[in-house]
Amino acid sequence: MHFYNTRDALPRCKVGDSGEKVTCWPAPEHPGTMNRRQLGNLRPTGKQESQIVAFLETLTDGYTPPSK
């Protein structure tokens, strides 16, 4: 969720940078696959991000993977 919220709002950084995935994002591996019209700067607050994640974690399709 944090990625989709901040992908286009935070600056670029080098892979392994201390702020990577928090205050900056590395350049995309495949820039041609990015959809800039719908995602990347959604602007929910940190609390709203957490609430969305909590909701998504409640969803299930009932699928149970086979035992190994």
Q: pLDDT tens-digit profile of 21-62?
A: 888 888 888 877 776 666 656 778 889 989 999 999 999 888
Using alpha carbons only, give the angle 53, 29, 20 rounded to the nearest 5 degrees. 55
pLDDT recorded at residue 14: 84
Amino acid at 25: W
Domain ranges within the chain, ordered by starting residue: 2-56
Per-residue pLDDT band for 7 (boundaries 50, 70, 90) equals confident
CA–CA dist 31, 49 (Å, integer): 25
Q: What is the residue-wise DSSP string for 53-64? A: HHHHHH------
